[in-house]
């Protein structure tokens, strides 16, 4: 299918859930891995909503778990594409926990996922251009992108050195 050349707005994807005891540790607070899985899923939904393709998680950056989340809390995960390259998207994901019996809610986790649009065979494919609505978000995502690239280059250097030293 030909790529639509006109820049496209990104719309948030939202996931909601309740923290059940099977997703908590011995202290009754939520496992980070469960929060991460929800955030990754929301990142996929946001990427799909933007690019209308399949997408895989290439990397995640700066996932900050700032407050513990108790069993019984209601979670809301909001994910949004904030930067797009040729085939990849940086998705900002914010997880908020809400007390079901009061108006209390707090932002518990923020993270950035790089999702790559792929075809049915798993090969990267081109995505639409993103209409930039927030310059600060875009610049922040550029830093996330640079950090992922630096890590990837470091990994390649280590692999090359390992081969050369054999």
Minimum gap (Å) between residue 61 Cβ and ligand COA: 8
Distance CA 121, CA 124 (A): 9
Least distance in Å: CB of 129 to ligand COA? 11
CB of 68 to ligand COA, least distance (A): 26
Q: Which of 63, 113, 116, 111 is nearest to 85 (CA)?
A: 116
Q: Report the phi/psi class of residue 44: left, alpha or beta, with left for phi > 0 and alpha for psi in -120 to 50.
A: alpha
Round to whole Å and give the CA distance between 45 and 37.
12
* In the complex, residue closest to ligand COA by CB: 85
CB of 120 to ligand COA, least distance (A): 13
Residue nearer to ligand COA on the CB measure, 66 or 149: 149
* Residues binding ligand COA (CB under 6 A): 56-59, 85-88, 114, 116, 118, 122, 124, 148, 152
State CA 105 to chain mean position distance.
21
Instruction: For ligand COA, give the closer residue by CB, 42 or 97.
Output: 42
CA distance 73 to 102: 11
CB 91, CB 80: distance < 8 Å: yes
Of the two residues 35 and 69, which places its CB atom closer to ligand COA in the complex?
A: 35
Beta strands in 71-120 (DSSP E): 74-84, 88-98, 105-118
At its nearest, how many Å lie between ligand COA and the CB of residue 133? 19
Q: Which is nearer to ligand COA, 47 or 97 (CB)?
A: 47
Residue with tokens 């059940």: 20
In the complex with ligand COA, the residue whose CB is nearer, 18 or 37, is 37
């Amino acid at each position: 299918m030909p790529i639509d050349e006109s820049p496209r707005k990104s719309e948030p994807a939202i996931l909601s859930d309740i923290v059940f005891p099977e997703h908590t540790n011995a202290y009754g607070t939520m496992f980070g891995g469960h929060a991460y899985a929800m955030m990754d899923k929301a990142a996929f939904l946001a990427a799909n909503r933007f690019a209308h393709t399949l997408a895989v998680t290439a990397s995640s950056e700066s996932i900050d778990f700032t407050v513990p989340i108790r069993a019984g809390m209601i979670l809301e995960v909001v994910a949004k594409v904030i930067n797009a390259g040729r085939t990849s998207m940086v998705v900002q994901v914010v997880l908020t926990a809400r007390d079901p019996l009061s108006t209390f809610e707090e932002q518990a986790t923020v993270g950035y996922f790089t999702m790559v649009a792929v075809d049915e065979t798993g090969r990267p494919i081109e995505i639409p251009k993103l209409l930039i609505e927030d310059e600060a978000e875009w610049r922040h995502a550029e830093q996330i992108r640079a950090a992922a690239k630096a890590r990837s280059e470091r990994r390649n250097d280590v692999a090359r050195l390992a081969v050369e030293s054999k």
